[in-house]
Structure 1
Amino acid sequence: MKILDRYILSRFLYNFISSFVILMFIFIFQAIWFFIDEFAGKDIDLAIVGKFLFYYSPNLVPNVLPLTVLLASIMTFGALAENYEFAAMKASGISLYRAMRPLIIFITFLSVGTFFFANNVIPAAEYKSYNLRRNIAQMKPAMAITEGVFSNVGEDFSMKVDKKHGNNDNLLDNVIIHQLTDGGLNNTVIKSVDGELISSKNSNILQLKLIDGNYYKDLKASSRDKRDNYPYAKASFDSYTIYMDLTNLNNVDLEEEKVKNTFKMLNVSELDYAIDSLKQDNKKIFSNFGENVYKRTGAANLQLKKTSKPSPVKKDDIAEKEEKTTDVQQIKSKIEKNIDSVVTIFEDYRQNQLIDMALNTVKNTKSTLEGKKWDLSRRIKLYNHHILSLHQKYSLAFACFILFFVGAPLGAIIRKGGLGLPMVLAIGLFLTYHFIGIFTKNYAEDGSIPPAIGAWIATIIMLPLGIFLTRRATADKAVFDAGNLIASISGLFSFLRKKKSEESK
């Protein structure tokens, strides 16, 4: 490797590593702010929080790495142009392509490594972080009671308090408790002015002492006639103690890993298999549902079946068959002229029955479609998520390569290094790339656009920009040549003025 190549590569690596570390810390702090509600109030050790952030950090790489490549390339080539080092290179016969050659090789290896990182590391990190986050959410429900909202405590209680106070936040004000019965019905409501949580570290029983409250319970009616009266029982108390069994919730293993089938946890081969399975399952479910709805409408009974070999008939049957054929032709002619005239074919008492049957069929079909709509939409969205996740692994690698060809020539054109203008340009371009990716991802998830295309649109849009900037930087031209633009506009006005004068003559 020549001295010039080592010099440019070392400058780029310095900017790349420093930018990556700074941006990663910024995104990690953003993640802390995003998950603060899940960690607060659960007495979670800092070591567990740090472990979660360590597992969650690889999920930030798809956002941090493209911005890092863009920023580092603008800073590196901007500094070289600002210090007239590019001018010295060009005077020595070294072109922009030649100066970019060591970085092109590095970015190529980086893009390949990014793909393997997205294919192997990110799914494993998502697997770890998702299960750890899920287990944290179940820890210490006695301390997870949030003021002003209902919190699930134990298996059968949902509690809301206005305020917590005391040394360990064990004193409660204005307590409302909904208790589920054996059938899973919310028939019992308990309200009290004050409450106190009493528990010990070695006990799985949470003792809740309520003071000065009321007890309400819906009762089952003794007969069908009294069901609309909604009978209930009410009792007042000065002190009432509830015991909550927390055995299943306190025995939470933070290292337990149960969930392993979300699309973010799969690599390319697993995604291919999952996509094929989901496609076959969706095809079968949609087909069965369509046939079920079609049969419910009764439309299948209206079809006339044709036989390839007609059976021999008698002469008396021929006349009857011709008469039936004439009736069918008359019905068809009425249908072709006016669909409403079909009802008039039948007797009056049958017309009302047919209309009622048709209305009931339409209502039932509509109800069936509305009831199934959410499930079918969920299946389509899950299928699109898998395809989108598959193509995003490839598009991320190409995005790093293409954004380098956006940042490097742009830095050579603006001739500014450091963290001033390059940072502004890099953030502006990255936000454009990022928001386009978010919009296309949302459209791809609901099927508005093909998910395979939605994963590539943001990268494809940056491709012509990179080609344009590279050509402008190679020709040593600005991004926009204001002089040529003004001259072109002046020439257009001169042409229009000359043409107008000729028409007046």
Structure 2
Amino acid sequence: MRTLTRYILRRHAGPFIFAIIGTTVLLLLDQVSKRFERLIGKDLEWTVIAEVFLYSIPFIIAQTLPMAVLIAVLYVFSRMEGDFEITAAKASGIPLSRVMAPLLICAVILAGGMTWFNNTVLPQSNHHLQVLLTGIGRKTPTFNLREHTINEVLPSYVYVHPGAIDREESVVHDVAIYDERNGQESRSIYAARGKMGFSEEGEDLYFDLEDGVVQVRLNERPHAFRRIAFERMLLKIPDVANGLERDTAAIRGDREMNIADMRAEADRGSEMADAARSESLAYSRAITEMLLDFEQPLADAPIRGGAEPAGGTRTRGGEAPDWNGDIPDLERDTPAREVDRPDREDDLAATSGAPARREIQATAPDSTTQVAESAARRFYTAFDAANQFQSYAERENTGLRRINQYWVEIHKKGTIPAACIVFVLLGAPIAVRFPRGGVALVVGVSLGFFGAYYVSLIGGERLSDRLWISPLVAMWAPNILFGALGLVALARSTRVMR
């Protein structure tokens, strides 16, 4: 059995390494084509470009590793069945599951290692890549200016409109520069030609302009206007930041965090949803209490437990209403957490003979209750209440979506590595079932299952973001489905079919 185990592993080592290198290179070339426009024309050193693609490799490997497992299993088992090696093993009493056992053990080890990789190495590489791409996007070289276009050199301050650009000589012709750096005046500079260049530090941009005119308009005196002609003028635009700057303190996205960081973010979403629910409940109670406090006199209404007085009406407590009094001020007369007024409870107890059932809560209200009661005091119409309840519902949904967003990424760190085990269960029986498939079988089945698996993952992620299913079901359902198919195929591959 040890000989068979070593033989199986040795047969799979070469195709697996070839598959992972090939798929990684293909996806890396795809990344090169997508980012070529962002990298070209930025006057970047080759080391920076190499760094971009180096940081892209971990993310690609996390996607291509399960692909390589399936490709290797399909290729090797189809070759072994074509050479009647699987048939010979079955004839010797060795089932297909025993032949697959070494690969399943290796797939489990590989899945555990990739889970660790996705939780430690991958977030850091994604963060460094994002920081690097952000710095490249902010880099503004001289030849990034476009002809016959208003180019923003300093955001909201300096704009350059070149008529023509000689990129080899860094010379602009028929250039217009709009300078708003001085808050008291606006300058418009027009020149027949000018030479561009950066300082030695690469941060300040210089224009050596010739044969032009400067037009100055004072902002406090819009009718005042100055015009100055020049033969040569040196214009400095500081802090253009042609150098590559990396903001290492940038905020991390969900794919740039490890599991502990994402759990903390999911807990913040849970706190947001709980706070919205608590405020909504306190708001509804506050409105109910406020509406009950605005009582109207009941004409000719008998009072339970007491006789109606002659010539007048009574309130609920048996007291004559004060028609000259104002509506009580809730903020002044009503305690924050008082469920009912004590004098009215005593009156009801006296008239009905029943003991008072409610008591005033002596504890101070929390911040959630105070916020809700403050919102209730601004309540005037049902439309106001509906808007307030809608705001609470939106905040709760935002918190729930935040929870699902991060838990999806947490589960994804384990589901994609676990696909290595699933693809071993699925690939070996299919290869044994179709031994004459060759390369066409490997390519067709691989593309089909890759597409179906990742579409299932993306679809589950979208459903979870919409709060239709839980992140656990969304991320693990594809593995369960394809794993069940693999087990069924393995059970049906007990005999050789030709």
TM-score normalised by structure 2 residue count: 0.70
Counterpart of 2:465 in structure 1 is 445
Q: How far 1:433 moved relative to its partner?
A: 0.8
- Aligned equivalents of 1:128 and 1:433: distance in 2? 29
**What letter is aligned with 2:198?**
S
Query: Could you tell me whether the CA contact under 8 Å between 1:293 and 1:365 is conserved in 2?
Result: no
- Aligned equivalents of 1:468 and 1:241: distance in 2? 79
Q: How far 1:41 moved relative to its partner?
A: 1.6
Query: What secondary structure does 1:207 align onto?
Result: strand
Q: How far 1:270 moved relative to its partner?
A: 2.7
- Aligned equivalents of 2:470 and 2:130: distance in 1? 28
Unaligned 5+ runs, structure 1: 223-230, 328-356, 479-505
Query: Could you tell me whether the CA contact under 8 Å between 1:214 and 1:234 is conserved in 2?
Result: no
- Aligned equivalents of 2:283 and 2:161: distance in 1? 48
Q: 1:419-444: CA deviations, max 9, x gaps?
A: 33211210111011112212222332
User: Is 1:474 aligned to 2:482, yes or no?
Assistant: no
Whose helix fraction is larger, Structure 1's or Structure 2's? 1
User: Is 1:408 aligned to 2:428, yes or no?
Assistant: yes
Q: 1:161-213: CA deviations, max 9, x gaps?
A: 68863134734578787766788xxx979697977562234153323459889
Moved more, 63-72 or 174-183: 174-183
Equivalent residues in 2 for 1:24-423, closer than 5 Å: 24-145=24-145, 152-157=152-157, 159=159, 165-168=165-168, 170-171=170-171, 196=194, 198-202=196-200, 204-208=203-207, 209=209, 243-246=236-239, 249-250=241-242, 252-254=244-246, 257-259=248-250, 261-284=252-275, 287-288=278-279, 290=280, 301-303=290-292, 319-321=313-315, 362=383, 380-416=400-436, 419-423=439-443
Q: 1:359 to 1:13 in 2, by over 3 A?
A: same
**What letter is aligned with 1:274?**
E
- Aligned equivalents of 2:274 and 2:176: distance in 1? 48
- Aligned equivalents of 1:17 and 1:267: distance in 2? 28
- Aligned equivalents of 2:173 and 2:412: distance in 1? 50
- Aligned equivalents of 1:11 and 1:192: distance in 2? 73
Q: How far 1:285 moved relative to its partner?
A: 5.3
The percent of aligned pairs where both chains have the same amino acid is: 18
Q: How far 1:70 moved relative to its partner?
A: 1.2
Q: 1:301 to 1:136 in 2, by over 3 A?
A: same
Q: 1:424 to 1:324 in 2, by over 3 A?
A: farther
Q: How far 1:360 moved relative to its partner?
A: 8.6
- Aligned equivalents of 1:206 and 1:413: distance in 2? 68
Q: 1:95 to 1:159 in 2, by over 3 A?
A: farther
- Aligned equivalents of 1:212 and 1:180: distance in 2? 18
Q: 1:234-289: CA deviations, max 9, x gaps?
A: 99998897642216x346444x521253222222233223322332134325655x
- Aligned equivalents of 1:377 and 1:182: distance in 2? 46
Query: What secondary structure does 1:93 align onto?
Result: coil
Q: 1:93 to 1:323 in 2, by over 3 A?
A: closer
Query: Could you tell me whether the CA contact under 8 Å between 2:186 and 2:219 is conserved in 1?
Result: no
Q: 1:265 to 1:4 in 2, by over 3 A?
A: same
Q: 1:359-386: CA deviations, max 9, x gaps?
A: 998489769969996x887655443321
Q: Cα RMSD (Å) of the superposition?
A: 4.7
Q: 1:434-456: CA deviations, max 9, x gaps?
A: 12212222332343433332222
**What letter is aligned with 2:80?**
L
- Aligned equivalents of 1:163 and 1:370: distance in 2? 52
Q: 1:64-99: CA deviations, max 9, x gaps?
A: 112111111111111111222222222222221121
Query: What secondary structure does 1:320 align onto?
Result: coil
Q: 1:27-75: CA deviations, max 9, x gaps?
A: 1111112222321221111111111211221111232112111111111
Counterpart of 1:339 in structure 2 is none
Query: Could you tell me whether the CA contact under 8 Å between 2:52 and 2:129 is conserved in 1?
Result: yes
Query: Could you tell me whether the CA contact under 8 Å between 1:142 and 1:153 is conserved in 2?
Result: no
**What letter is aligned with 2:238?**
D
Q: 1:105 to 1:298 in 2, by over 3 A?
A: closer
Q: 1:173 to 1:371 in 2, by over 3 A?
A: farther
- Aligned equivalents of 2:117 and 2:311: distance in 1? 78
Query: Could you tell me whether the CA contact under 8 Å between 1:380 and 1:447 is conserved in 2?
Result: yes
Q: 1:84 to 1:57 in 2, by over 3 A?
A: same
Q: 1:303-360: CA deviations, max 9, x gaps?
A: 4599xxx9x99968993216999x9xxxxxxxxxxxxxxxxxxxxxxxxxxxxx9999
- Aligned equivalents of 1:62 and 1:197: distance in 2? 48
Query: Could you tell me whether the CA contact under 8 Å between 2:5 and 2:102 is conserved in 1?
Result: yes
- Aligned equivalents of 2:150 and 2:273: distance in 1? 37
Query: Could you tell me whether the CA contact under 8 Å between 2:148 and 2:164 is conserved in 1?
Result: no
**What letter is aligned with 1:199?**
G
**What letter is aligned with 1:20?**
I
Counterpart of 2:14 in structure 1 is 14
Q: 1:192 to 1:451 in 2, by over 3 A?
A: farther
- Aligned equivalents of 2:58 and 2:2: distance in 1? 35
Q: How far 1:401 moved relative to its partner?
A: 0.8
**What letter is aligned with 1:58?**
P
Query: Could you tell me whether the CA contact under 8 Å between 1:217 and 1:233 is conserved in 2?
Result: yes
**What letter is aligned with 2:196?**
I
Query: Could you tell me whether the CA contact under 8 Å between 1:163 and 1:172 is conserved in 2?
Result: yes
Q: How far 1:217 moved relative to its partner?
A: 7.9
Q: 1:102 to 1:235 in 2, by over 3 A?
A: farther
